[in-house]
């Protein structure tokens, strides 16, 4: 492959390999690469001049290929690349002796399992290996490594060698796999290899995709006697992988017994002569009464804090997570494990409110943010419920994953996210961010990029999940973006339906990508709700939600009281009416307050006076309204400062422009810009100050009457402080931060 680039006005043509193979096994292997015409069966040459030898941990570039079938390559011909492997060893005279070759595999598979013939003493041995394909910078990397989770294992106790192949396979995929006498081999049918990675949504998968999911259960195999160089022996009748004992007739060989069993979603096929009993084939397993071991951990209060001690003399708390009534249960029964996590409350708090944003809490349960009105006390269900069933014998097989979450409130600000990112970046050494470049720098014994090796390791330890379910999730999102303009949404309802996956066979990266893409696409489906919740238009969605909650209480509370007694019915009418009026008033005031605050902040940005905007933002964060008088005083203070800044800007902005014009050798245009900023501030700053006054007044009314939603930080229980002491608690927080570093 040839790539072109320009360096210092010169065109540079670079010749780089299209295929690079890395041997990550403990064996020395030989490689025979082929080129076949796409769609044709092709004739694999028995003797090839082109071979590659790789020692353990070495890398080679595949540049030369053997042309199969005697075809003539042309520029417009579509071809398929294939390759066979074998173990190799050195004889006493230091001559290379390869073992029998493996099946030929094409490069259109992401993950293909096969048996690698290796030499052990005087007898050949078949090792379970895996070939994974990865692409980066137009280069296909092939990584050969041991297979920890083969799909089909064949064990033979027959006196002669056999061959196995998938029925109805064509082309290069019809190459048979050798099954040596009294040995074990691994075989992965091509139709099964094509299923990786397999992540299908149960709700949207088509009938074709569902057939692909069950294709592994309908695989049919067939055997024949090992014919060596000729194809004179015939194949037996194909059979499906049905659990149990079967009788199969192989032409020119005789009848054999097959015992098929499924162990942890892996097929184990055992072959033995027909005269041997089943008890000889079946492993003797002692009878043990299964025992159950269960361990439970219950935490009534758990606090985790992130401290930042970079760039300042004193540690500063960044985030705090408070978990209440947490229960974790772990049980094991006969190699089957179950993890059950339950949490009734989780709150993630912003401890840098005066430095990064106004939201005091980033995440909290909806029942604590906007609890529903109740005549009788009712316990709320757990906020988080997570159940994991899996077995390990020896590979980890996940039987089911279940997650259920109650409605929650999420409050995010871009300034807080930037602060968290900068804090997290300071914990990491800068050397980790240095890049080695995107160019291929390998030679015949070069190295494979680290990302490719990481991907190959993920493919080796593939994940098999029988059932994956996430119950419907409801999130009420409040977000603020303060870039060129101030945009914010208030209490946007985001509801995601149930999400199910079945028969998953992939790696964690692919599974997380598919699940994340599903919820991101669901977020785009709620664009209408997001636009309706913008504070710049008064957040009509939030107002309608408040009215709907009040109307619900007006109807539901009297009905609940009527089911108890006439007195409770009257009490329900009173509570329902009060709730309706409270929700209606708070919704209207919140809508007006949000609208005026959004206009005020955008007017400040429109004035193009950064000092004025920064000072007003600092006043908002340092003096939050706690009651009506303080809120009105803060509003009048902001309005007065805006008027003074508008008048002063008529002189200050042109003077600053003249100063910059002298420093930067500017023109008269710079002076005109300063005059324009001053005139623009005369209009925008008073309007912004007036809107801020209205906003502060509305906030004061909400806080004074108790109609506003007040979210505060969690207080550390007195019992915990008395038990540990202030210094001990501080040391605990510092040690937690050190661990995070």
pLDDT per residue over 84-137, tens digit each? 888 876 554 445 555 678 888 888 788 888 888 886 545 667 888 989 988 888
Over residues 545-556, the pLDDT tens digits come to 888 888 888 888
Provide the H-helix boundaries in 355-507. 366-369, 414-426, 450-460
CB 681 within 8 A of CB 609: yes
pLDDT tens digits, residue range 446-469?
A: 568 888 888 888 888 778 888 899
Q: What pLDDT does residue 170 have?
A: 75
Under 8 Å CB-to-CB from 202, ≥6 apart: which residues? 500, 501, 502
Give the mean pLDDT of 152-156: 88
Task: Write down the residue that tokens 């005083």 correspond to.
Answer: 633
Query: Quick one: how far is CA 54 from the chain centroid?
Result: 35
| Across 34-55, average pLDDT | 66
Lowest mean pLDDT among 149-163, 472-486, 616-630, 713-727: 713-727
Give the pLDDT score at 92.
47
Give the per-residue pLDDT at 700.
Answer: 84
Q: What's the pLDDT score for residue 314?
A: 67
Whole-angstrom distance, CA of residue 249 vs CA of residue 710: 79
Is the previous residue joined to 197 through a cis bond, with omega within 30 degrees of 0? yes
Element (H, E) at 582: helix 566-606
Q: How confident is the model at residue 706 (pLDDT cuts 50, 70, 90)?
A: confident
CA pair distance 738, 741, nearest whole angstrom: 5
User: For the chain, what is the mean pLDDT?
Assistant: 77
Question: What mean pLDDT do residues 325-354 have?
Answer: 87
Contact call for residues 32 and 98 (beta carbons, < 8 A):
no
The share of the chain scoring above pLDDT 70, in percent, equals 75
Considering 48-57, 88-97, 713-722, the range whose residues carry the highest mean pLDDT is 48-57
- By DSSP bridging, strand 316-333 and strand 384-392 are unpaired
Give residue 405's pLDDT: 92
Burial degree of 179 (CB within 10 A; 0-12, 13-18, 19+): buried
**Going by DSSP bridges, is the β-strand pair 111-120/123-136 parallel, antiparallel, or unpaired?**
antiparallel
Is a pLDDT exceeding 70 seen at residue 57?
yes
Q: What is the pLDDT of residue 428?
A: 58
Using one digit for the tens of pLDDT, what is the confidence trace for 575-602? Answer: 889 888 888 888 888 888 888 888 888 8
User: Which tops the pLDDT comparison, 217 or 595?
Assistant: 595
Q: How many residues does the chain have?
A: 741
pLDDT value of position 624: 60
Asked if pLDDT for residue 741 goes beyond 50, the answer is no
Q: How confident is the model at residue 211 (pLDDT cuts 50, 70, 90)?
A: very low
Residue 327 predicted with pLDDT over 90: yes
Residue predicted with more confidence, 45 or 637: 637
Q: Give the residue from 175, 187, 178 showing the smallest Cα distance to 225.
A: 178
The structure tokens listed for 162 are 């056999």
* Interval 10-36: pLDDT, tens: 777 767 778 889 998 888 888 888 777
Point out the least confidently predicted range of 128-132, 540-544, 558-562, 734-738: 734-738
Residues linked to residue 268 through DSSP beta bridges, in sequence order: 153, 261
| 3-state SS record for 134-174 | EEECCEEEEEEEECCCCCEEEEECCCCCEEEEECCCCHHHH
- Residue 193 scores a pLDDT above 60: yes
**Within its chain, how far is the Cα of 420 from the centroid?**
20
Phi, psi of 330 (to 5 degrees): -125, 125
Residue range 274-326, pLDDT digits in tens: 865 444 444 434 445 567 788 999 998 888 887 777 665 566 778 888 999 99
**Stated pTM of the model:** 0.71
What is the per-residue pLDDT for 657? 76
Higher local confidence (pLDDT), 227 or 651:
651
Element (H, E) at 740: helix 726-740
Per-residue confidence (pLDDT) for residue 442, from 0 to 100: 42
User: Is the four-CA dihedral 207, 208, 213, 214 of positive or negative sign?
Assistant: positive
Q: Is the pLDDT of residue 739 over 50?
A: no
The whole-number pLDDT of residue 330 equals 93
**Residue appearing with tokens 């079938």:** 69
Weakest mean pLDDT among 8-12, 321-325, 410-414, 643-647: 8-12
DSSP per residue, 592-645: HHHHHHHHHHHHHHHTT-HHHHHHHHHHHHHS---SHHHHHHHHHHHHHHHHHH
Percent of the chain with pLDDT over 90: 7
710 falls in which pLDDT band (50, 70, 90)? low
Query: What confidence category does residue 212 fall into, taking pLDDT thresholds of 50, 70 and 90?
Result: very low
Burial of 693 (0-12, 13-18, 19+ CB in 10 A): buried
Q: What was the pLDDT predicted at 12?
A: 73
Query: How high is the pLDDT of residue 41?
Result: 52
Show me where the domains of the chain are located. 17-146, 149-282, 293-426+454-532+717-741, 534-710
Does the pLDDT value for residue 436 go beyond 50? no
Nearest one of 548, 563, 555, 549 to 376, comparing CA atoms: 563
pLDDT value for 532 = 87
Least confident of 337-346, 653-662, 688-697: 653-662
Provide, for the chain, the percentages of residues in helix, strand and coil under a 3-state DSSP scheme, each rounded to the nearest 5.
Answer: 35, 35, 30
> Of the ranges 270-274, 507-511, 712-716, which one carries the lowest mean pLDDT score?
712-716
The neighbouring-strand residues paired with 131 are 112, 144
User: Where residue 328 falls among pLDDT bands split at 50, 70, 90?
Assistant: very high
Which pLDDT does position 437 carry in this prediction? 40
Per-residue pLDDT at 664 exceeds 70: no
Instruction: Say whether pLDDT at 736 is over 70.
Output: no
Residue 654 pLDDT exceeds 70: yes
């Amino acid at each position: 492959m040839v790539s072109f680039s320009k360096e210092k006005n010169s065109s540079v043509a670079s010749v780089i390999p299209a295929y690079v193979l890395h041997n990550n096994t403990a064996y020395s292997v030989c490689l025979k690469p082929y080129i076949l015409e796409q769609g044709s069966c092709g004739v694999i040459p028995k003797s090839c001049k082109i071979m590659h030898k790789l020692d353990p941990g070495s890398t080679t570039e595949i540049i030369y290929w053997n042309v199969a079938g005697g075809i003539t390559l042309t520029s417009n011909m579509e071809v398929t690349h294939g390759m066979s492997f074998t173990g190799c060893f050195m004889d006493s005279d230091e001559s290379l002796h390869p073992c029998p070759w493996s099946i030929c595999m094409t490069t259109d598979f992401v993950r293909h399992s096969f048996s690698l013939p290796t030499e052990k003493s005087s007898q050949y041995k078949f090792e379970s290996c895996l070939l994974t394909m990865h692409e980066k910078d137009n280069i296909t990397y092939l990584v050969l490594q041991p297979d920890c989770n083969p799909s089909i294992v064949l064990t033979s106790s027959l006196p002669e060698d056999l061959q196995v192949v998938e029925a109805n396979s064509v082309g290069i995929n019809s190459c048979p796999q050798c099954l040596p006498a009294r040995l074990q081999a691994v075989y992965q049918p091509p139709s099964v290899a094509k299923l990786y990675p397999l992540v299908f949504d149960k709700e949207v998968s088509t009938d074709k995709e569902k057939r692909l999911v069950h294709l592994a259960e309908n695989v049919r195999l067939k055997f024949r006697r090992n014919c060596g160089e000729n194809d004179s022996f015939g194949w037996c009748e194909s059979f499906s992988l049905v659990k149990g004992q079967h009788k199969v007739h192989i032409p020119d060989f005789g009848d054999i017994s097959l015992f098929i069993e499924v162990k942890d979603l892996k097929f184990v096929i055992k072959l033995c002569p027909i005269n041997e009993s089943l008890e000889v084939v079946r492993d003797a397993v002692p009878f043990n009464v299964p025992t159950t071991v269960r361990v439970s951990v219950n935490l009534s209060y758990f606090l985790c804090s992130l401290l930042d001690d970079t760039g300042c003399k004193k540690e500063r708390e960044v985030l705090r997570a408070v978990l209440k009534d947490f229960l974790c249960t772990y049980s094991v029964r006969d190699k089957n494990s179950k993890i059950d996590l339950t949490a009734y409350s989780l709150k993630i708090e912003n401890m840098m409110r005066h430095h990064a944003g106004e939201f005091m809490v980033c995440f909290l349960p909806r029942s604590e943010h906007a609890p529903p009105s109740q005549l009788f006390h009712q316990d709320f269900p757990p906020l988080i419920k997570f159940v994991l069933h899996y077995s390990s014998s020896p590979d980890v097989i996940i039987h089911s994953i279940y997650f259920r979450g109650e409605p929650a409130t999420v409050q995010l600000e871009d300034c807080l996210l930037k602060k968290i990112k900068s804090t997290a970046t300071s914990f990491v050494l800068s050397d980790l961010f240095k890049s080695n470049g995107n160019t291929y720098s390998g030679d015949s014994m070069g190295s494979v990029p680290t990302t490719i090796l990481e991907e190959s390791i993920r493919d080796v330890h593939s994940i098999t999940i029988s059932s994956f379910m996430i119950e419907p999730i409801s999130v009420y999102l409040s977000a603020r973006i303060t870039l060129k303009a101030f945009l914010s949404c208030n209490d946007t309802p985001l509801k995601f339906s149930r999400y199910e996956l079945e028969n998953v066979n992939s790696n964690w990266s692919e599974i997380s990508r598919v699940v994340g893409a599903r919820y991101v696409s669901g977020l785009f489906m709620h664009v209408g709700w997001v636009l309706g919740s913008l504070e710049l238009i008064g957040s009509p969605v939030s107002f309608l939600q408040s009215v709907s909650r009040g109307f619900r209480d007006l109807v539901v509370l009297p009905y609940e009281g009527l089911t108890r007694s006439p007195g409770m019915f009257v009490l329900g009418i009173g509570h329902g009416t009060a709730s309706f009026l409270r929700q209606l008033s708070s919704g209207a005031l919140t809508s007006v307050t949000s609208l005026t605050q959004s206009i005020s902040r955008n007017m400040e940005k429109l004035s193009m006076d950064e000092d004025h905007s920064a000072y007003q933002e600092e006043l908002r964060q340092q003096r939050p309204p706690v009651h009506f008088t303080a809120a009105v005083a803060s509003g009048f203070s902001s309005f007065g400062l805006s008027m003074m800044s508008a008048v002063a800007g008529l002189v200050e902005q042109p003077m600053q422009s003249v100063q910059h014009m002298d420093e930067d050798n500017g023109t008269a245009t710079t002076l005109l810009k300063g005059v324009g900023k001053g005139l623009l501030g005369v209009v925008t700053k008073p309007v912004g100050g007036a809107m801020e006054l209205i906003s502060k007044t509305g906030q004061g009314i909400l806080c004074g009457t108790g109609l506003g939603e007040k979210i505060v930080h969690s207080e550390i229980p007195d019992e915990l402080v008395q038990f540990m002491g202030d210094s001990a608690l501080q040391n605990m927080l510092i040690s937690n931060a050190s661990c995070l570093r």
